[in-house]
Amino acid sequence: MKRRESLSLLERLYIFEVIKGVIQTSGHLFKHFATFLLRTIGLMKNTKPWATYEYPDEARPYAERYRGRHRLTLNGDGSMRCTACFLCATACPAKCIYIEASEHDDPQIEKFPNRYEIDTLLCIYCGYCVEACPVDAIRMDTGIHPEIYPPDPRAFIEDKETLMLRSRVLEDLGPEALFKAHMKKLKDIETKPFETDY
Ligand code: SF4
Ligand code: SF4
């Protein structure tokens, strides 16, 4: 920013600066208006004259490193990779991960999480749980933002099955399917409130 004493006489009169601002703003207005008119007659289809997104019909593309909703990753046989080591729960600054470990029937496996829950109402989406996991059992690479749940705090708790199903859908149908299903659910909320599965 220029210091006040270094402004020229014309700049200090302000009126010319105001006129410059009005011309610049009007230029953008007329440019976008002309683009809009051309689009209505079928031209310039690939140019968007507005900066907004028609959410939820149209979603803003997320950055590659966007931290989306959690998922518990799976082994090749569909079992969960988590070994119930509690490192994620220990690292979590919001203390919103609850794990109950149990002995596994398979003597080769020491223990597994009989219960694994994340209270997404408390979660601050910091990603520390992902960083802390030594076996890559939890990820936030779903590309979908937090769910809208009914006005009941208990509904925001995502359990083991929900977190595993998210991985299954992502692996079977791909991120696009997961994203589309998520956006459809958000659109359906007005007619069929709060029916969610993954
Ligand atoms: S993202 Fe952060 S706050 Fe959320 S569960 Fe993981 S560690 Fe906890
Ligand atoms: S998700 Fe990872 S860090 Fe958390 S309990 Fe399971 S294995 Fe340990």
* Digit-coded pLDDT (tens) for 87-138: 999 999 999 999 999 998 888 888 999 999 999 999 999 999 999 999 999 9
Q: Which domain holds residue 36?
A: 13-40
Identify the pLDDT of residue 197: 54
Residue 60 lies in a domain: no
Identify the pLDDT of residue 10: 83
Q: Are residues 31 and 106 in the same domain?
A: no
Nearest ligand 2 atom to the CA of 132 is 3
pLDDT band for position 195 (cuts 50, 70, 90): low
| Number of structural domains in the chain | 2
Nearest ligand 1 atom to the CA of 125 is 1
HSE-up of 20 (CA within 13 Å, CB side)? Answer: 7
Q: How far apart are CA 119 and CA 158, in angstroms?
A: 6
Nearest ligand 2 atom to the CA of 99 is 5
Q: Are residues 106 and 164 in the same domain?
A: yes
Q: What is the CATH number of the domain that holds 185?
A: 3.30.70.3270
Q: Are residues 172 and 110 in the same domain?
A: yes
Residue 120 lies in a domain: yes
Q: How far apart are CA 96 and CA 71, in angstroms?
A: 15
127 Cβ inside 6 Å of ligand 1 = yes
> What is the chain's alpha carbon radius of gyration, rounded to the nearest angstrom?
25
Q: How far apart are CA 136 and CA 115, in angstroms?
A: 18
* Digit-coded pLDDT (tens) for 25-63: 999 999 989 998 998 888 887 787 777 887 777 777 888
> Shortest CA distance to 118 belongs to which of 139, 103, 102?
139
Residue 30 lies in a domain: yes
Q: Are residues 23 and 91 in the same domain?
A: no
Q: What is the pTM of this model?
A: 0.73
Orientation angle between helical segments 175-188 and 160-173, nearest 10 degrees: 120
96 Cβ inside 6 Å of ligand 1 = yes
Q: Are residues 80 and 157 in the same domain?
A: yes
